[in-house]
Structure 1
């Protein structure tokens, strides 16, 4: 929001100073904080109305949360793509993800990817796959995926320091931001919250790491061609062929 003192009655040094102070006060009030980036990136879920997909997704998420290995394995294609220069198949998938370990990152990484929604992507053979999260599947090709990330929540508070107690610089909703540091420890020693430092137009600020996502994080692609839905690739940093 712009604030201007246009009348001649304000055209004195003291009045102009008072006007500047008033404008600053308005700028820091809730509701007057300008959005910092002007690069909107709204959530996408092209399967939001697909009941077959939603049933499969819900079963998979529940199985990941409960560490139900039988259901998770049944949701994966036997020749799943595990990434560039990696063997295909369930055996390699299990090895790479320490599948038998309850502390494996798989349970959270795959769940978070699936829950964000996704989009259909063409493969090299002309077919289509449904890939999640939308951040990876629909990342703008004109924006460097290594230097930027996407705010994936609404009304995210950007803090002056890596602490929820610090002052709020701006409020961001579903947009692309430049990232300066992906993981910063909380200002309070031992506190588990991690932060990501981002660049605003005139300063740097911090957002909780769970509210921003990199387009080169793991992307899960699914297909129901010729049968039920299955996870056909789970890779990071590239679009599977």
Structure 2
């Protein structure tokens, strides 16, 4: 009888005080994956594309862009729109940085409502938990990331995180040292603010690149921001 009463009380408390989104995030992890990592054609293609991006090889990049590429969730499709959106002919086009960053992490398969399944990099958006707000959280993408008390490598270490999903109040924080180029992201650890280097955390609504394997090879089908399942 006592055990039944205890179980009933616990159930009532769970219903009365449901777990908040922040509590879920504090308990959640997004482990790294690469679902096409054993496909030799993908590995070879990705390596060639990464090298082309490093060399800013416009000819190769355009050769793998699908003619009907999706450039954002609500803008025109096509190569001309891709070139315009990314200021592709400029020396400092952001496409070199954003596409390289997307390919740095592993990939995951996504099946759109229409068309063939796509391989998307990074995996973060595709595998993001549906019950955690993607706009207010981020995923730690490395092991044993040091969480600092302030935006500086000299600040005290509050904790270490590995692949945790954390609340993010601020995505752009400058280093405390005026001459430092390091950028930081402000995160929440329970009720305490902490800071991690920007390259060690990823938002699910950052750019993702999705590819389809065709008879003529891999094609870039979309390079967009946002999240959709």
State the TM-score, normalized to the length of structure 2.
Answer: 0.86
Alpha-carbon separation, structure 2, partners of 1:85 and 1:171: 39
Question: For 2:42, which of 53, 56, 71 is the aligned residue?
Answer: 53
Counterpart secondary structure, 1:136: coil
1:111 is matched with 100
1:157 is matched with 146
- Structure possessing the higher relative contact order (Cα contacts under 8 Å, 6 or more residues apart): 2
| TM-superposition CA deviations, 1:55-79 (whole Å, max 9, x none) | 1100000000110001111121111
CA RMSD of aligned residues (A): 1.4
Q: Aligned-pair distance for 1:105? A: 1.2
1:62 is matched with 51
2:112 is matched with 123
1:76 is matched with 65
Alpha-carbon separation, structure 1, partners of 2:115 and 2:81: 26
2:13 is matched with none
Question: For 1:215, which of 194, 204, 210 is the aligned residue?
Answer: 204
Alpha-carbon separation, structure 1, partners of 2:206 and 2:71: 14
Counterpart secondary structure, 1:234: strand
Determine if contact 2:204/2:227 at 8 Å carries over to the other structure.
no
2:123 is matched with 134
Counterpart secondary structure, 1:199: strand
CA distance 1:126–1:89, shift in 2 (3 Å): closer
1:195 is matched with 184
Matched residues, number: 205
List gaps (5 residues or longer) in structure 2.
Answer: 1-24
**1:159-178 pair list within 5 angstroms:** 159-178=148-167
Q: Aligned-pair distance for 1:126? A: 5.7
Determine if contact 2:73/2:225 at 8 Å carries over to the other structure.
no
List gaps (5 residues or longer) in structure 1.
Answer: 1-35
Q: Aligned-pair distance for 1:202? A: 3.5
Does 2:33 align with 1:44? yes
State the TM-score, normalized to the length of structure 1.
Answer: 0.82
Alpha-carbon separation, structure 2, partners of 1:80 and 1:168: 44
Question: For 2:175, which of 176, 183, 186 is the aligned residue?
Answer: 186
Moved more, 174-183 or 122-131: 122-131
Alpha-carbon separation, structure 2, partners of 1:100 and 1:39: 41
Following TM superposition, where does structure 1 have runs of at least 4 consecutive aligned residues deviating by more than 3 angstroms?
none
Higher Cα Rg, which structure = 1
